Amino acid sequence: MEQEAIKTFFSTELLGWYRLIKRDLPWRKNRDPYRVWVSEIMLQQTRVDTVIPYYNQFMDKFPSVTALANAPETEVLKSWEGLGYYSRARNLQAGAKEVAQRYGGIVPDDKAAVAGLKGVGPYTSGAIMSIAFNRPEPAVDGNVMRVLSRYFCLEDDIAKPSTRIGIEKLAASLIPEGAAGDFNQALMELGALVCTPKSPSCLPCPVMEHCAARLSGRETELPIKTKAKPPRAEFRAAAIVAGSGEHADKVLVRQRPATGLLAQMWELPHLELPKDKAEWLSEASPKEQGELAEMISRMVETDTGLLIRPRSWFTDADHIFSHIHWKMRFYLADLGEERSASEDVAAAASSLIGLTAAEAASAYKVDSQAEEAEVIGTYRWISKSDMETLPFPNLFLRILKQYWE
Ligand code: SF4
């Protein structure tokens, strides 16, 4: 069969299949570009089943570009809590503000304008232009690269930008006239449901008859993708500081800076251990555990003036970002009593390592005073109910829930 006929077969069969089986997903109720935009951002690196409830509550809360543009950032982050990759939410809101200011709250039917919005890359702009406006733009993500690499038996490394550009051209040439939106969604649907990464279901596949990878038995070998570098490990120790007195039943949390990783989200206070101390989290001598307790105490004291006393191990947890792997140990800690800081840290060391108070006191010395406050810089005492309004990354949400349970 001629190459052109193989392409036509692919487009026709795929489109026909999609129109028969397409899933009833909330963002497919209509072609409102704002709804398409939100769904495409949420679906990046996240499964459809996970996205559905988030999408529904997000659209209830922010039903229009203007509603999203005018919402406080904390509320937007709170609605995103648990989905991860929070810069997506911040960029989405920044894009909504731009659409509100420059285009009167209406997403423009203009490729360059859509592609210029914050957080909108070539895939998302292609998805919005094709699904919402039926423009013949390709929308190529990992799913689409996998399907086309297999169907056409392409051996280029899909991790390379040049391969993506080549596949975008190929995908554009496959779009049937007047059916860009459905065709792009059909490609995504095939990648998600049939031509899956590890075990493609070739038998029920609508394009199996001319799929070059299947015909040559190479469907699980393709696509070729060089492995990304594994995320860099960071070892961190965190404190769950229980309040007392007027802060009884509360826990000390802090807000992350306005820029960078997990910007503006809330977390338990924690610090990164120097590389040569990383093994402290798995195996530490009593003296080292005491030093760790001191480091945590000093961090909180420096930031807030509060004296705390790490009391005992609570749990270990991991969190993997795209480029960093946090390996964390959480300690329960109490507020120090009205006494000198050196006594307090010594008590902390003593409680963790079983040194006598006198031994610990001579080993660890600090000299500032404790002072409690409701809000201390970026730190704050929160009760369980405050978690309903403050946005936390999944990791800390999980640990705090576990703590309060
Ligand atoms: S036949 Fe198999 S490998 Fe080819 S596109 Fe279909 S599911 Fe993928």
Mean pLDDT over 98-126 rounds to 97
**Quick check: helix, strand or coil at residue 111?**
helix
Closest protein CA for atom 1 of ligand 1: 208
pLDDT at position 373 is 40
Residue 392: partners with Cβ closer than 8 Å, 6 or more residues away: 81, 253, 265, 266, 267, 400
**Quick check: helix, strand or coil at residue 242?**
strand
Q: Is the C-beta atom of 200 inside 6 A of ligand 1?
A: yes
Q: Is the C-beta atom of 219 inside 6 A of ligand 1?
A: yes
Is the full-model pTM beyond 0.85? Answer: no
Band of residue 274 on the pLDDT scale cut at 50, 70, 90: confident
Give distance in angstroms: CA of 343 to centre of ligand 1.
68
Pocket-testing residue among 150, 152, 154, 199, ligand 1, by greatest number of atoms within 8 A of Cβ: 150
pLDDT at position 377 is 63
Mean pLDDT over 31-41 rounds to 97
Residue 273: partners with Cβ closer than 8 Å, 6 or more residues away: 235, 236, 237, 280, 281, 292, 295
Q: Is the C-beta atom of 195 inside 6 A of ligand 1?
A: yes
The rounded distance, in Å, linking the Cα atoms of 297 and 285 is: 18
The rounded distance, in Å, linking the Cα atoms of 200 and 291 is: 52
The rounded distance, in Å, linking the Cα atoms of 139 and 170 is: 11
Inter-residue contact 382 to 267 (CB < 8 Å) = no
Write out the DSSP string of 261-304.
TTTT-EE--EEEPPGGGGGGGTS--HHHHHHHHHHHHHHHHHHH
pLDDT at position 322 is 82
Q: Is the C-beta atom of 207 inside 6 A of ligand 1?
A: yes
Which residues are part of the catalytic machinery? 40
- The whole-angstrom distance between residue 401's C-alpha and the CA centroid of its chain comes to 19
Q: Is the C-beta atom of 222 inside 6 A of ligand 1?
A: no
Mean pLDDT over 368-382 rounds to 61
Give the number of C-alpha atoms closer than 13 A to the C-alpha of residue 48, restricted to the C-beta side.
Answer: 11
Q: Is the C-beta atom of 251 inside 6 A of ligand 1?
A: no
Pocket-testing residue among 18, 193, 219, ligand 1, by greatest number of atoms within 8 A of Cβ: 219
Question: Considering only CA atoms, which of 372, 373, 380, 371 is closest in space to residue 256?
Answer: 380
Of 339 and 124, the structure prediction assigns the larger pLDDT to 124
The rounded distance, in Å, linking the Cα atoms of 93 and 27 is: 18
pLDDT at position 11 is 97
Give distance in angstroms: CA of 162 to centre of ligand 1.
23
Band of residue 365 on the pLDDT scale cut at 50, 70, 90: very low
Q: Is the C-beta atom of 147 inside 6 A of ligand 1?
A: yes
Pocket-testing residue among 143, 203, 205, 218, ligand 1, by greatest number of atoms within 8 A of Cβ: 205
**Quick check: helix, strand or coil at residue 315?**
strand
Could you check whether the bond before residue 223 is cis, i.e. omega within 30 degrees of 0?
Answer: yes
Give distance in angstroms: CA of 202 to centre of ligand 1.
5
Phi-psi label, residue 260: left if phi above 0, alpha if psi -120 to 50, beta otherwise: left
Reported as a single tens digit per residue, the pLDDT across 121-154 is: 999 999 999 999 999 999 999 999 999 999 999 9
Inter-residue contact 348 to 331 (CB < 8 Å) = no
The rounded distance, in Å, linking the Cα atoms of 262 and 88 is: 11
Lowest average pLDDT, out of 4-18, 185-199, 253-267, goes to 253-267
Give distance in angstroms: CA of 206 to centre of ligand 1.
8
- In order of 10, 151, 207, 303, the CA distances from 216 in angstroms are 17, 11, 14, 63
pLDDT at position 47 is 92
Write out the DSSP string of 200-241.
---TT-TTGGG-HHHHTT-TTT-SB-PPPPPPEEEEEEEEEE
Structure tokens at 292: 């760790």
The rounded distance, in Å, linking the Cα atoms of 81 and 86 is: 8
Q: Is the C-beta atom of 208 inside 6 A of ligand 1?
A: yes
Write out the DSSP string of 317-357.
EEEE-SSEEEEEEEEEEEE--SS-HHHHHHHHHHHHH---H
Give distance in angstroms: CA of 18 to centre of ligand 1.
15
Q: Which residues pair with 238 in a beta bridge?
A: 270, 330
Structure tokens at 206: 């609508």
**Quick check: helix, strand or coil at residue 248?**
coil
Inter-residue contact 321 to 261 (CB < 8 Å) = yes
Give distance in angstroms: CA of 257 to centre of ligand 1.
46
pLDDT at position 91 is 96
Tell me, what DSSP letter sits at residue 24?
A: -
pLDDT at position 375 is 61
Ligand 1 atom closest to Cα of residue 146: 8
Q: Is the pLDDT of residue 342 over 50?
A: no
pLDDT at position 369 is 35
Of 94 and 2, the structure prediction assigns the larger pLDDT to 94
Give distance in angstroms: CA of 396 to centre of ligand 1.
41
Q: Is the C-beta atom of 202 inside 6 A of ligand 1?
A: yes
Q: What domains lie within the chain, and their CATH numbers?
A: 3-215 (1.10.340.30), 232-404 (3.90.79.10)
Ligand 1 atom closest to Cα of residue 219: 3
Inter-residue contact 212 to 153 (CB < 8 Å) = yes
Ligand 1 atom closest to Cα of residue 201: 7
Reported as a single tens digit per residue, the pLDDT across 202-258 is: 999 999 999 999 999 999 999 999 988 889 999 999 999 999 888 899 999 999 998
Of 87 and 359, the structure prediction assigns the larger pLDDT to 87
Pocket-testing residue among 11, 208, 209, ligand 1, by greatest number of atoms within 8 A of Cβ: 208
pLDDT at position 152 is 97
Q: Is the C-beta atom of 205 inside 6 A of ligand 1?
A: yes
Q: How high is the mean pLDDT of the chain?
A: 89
Closest protein CA for atom 8 of ligand 1: 195
Give distance in angstroms: CA of 313 to centre of ligand 1.
50
Strands 232-242 and 324-335: parallel
Reported as a single tens digit per residue, the pLDDT across 142-201 is: 999 999 999 999 999 999 999 999 999 999 999 999 999 999 999 999 999 999 999 999
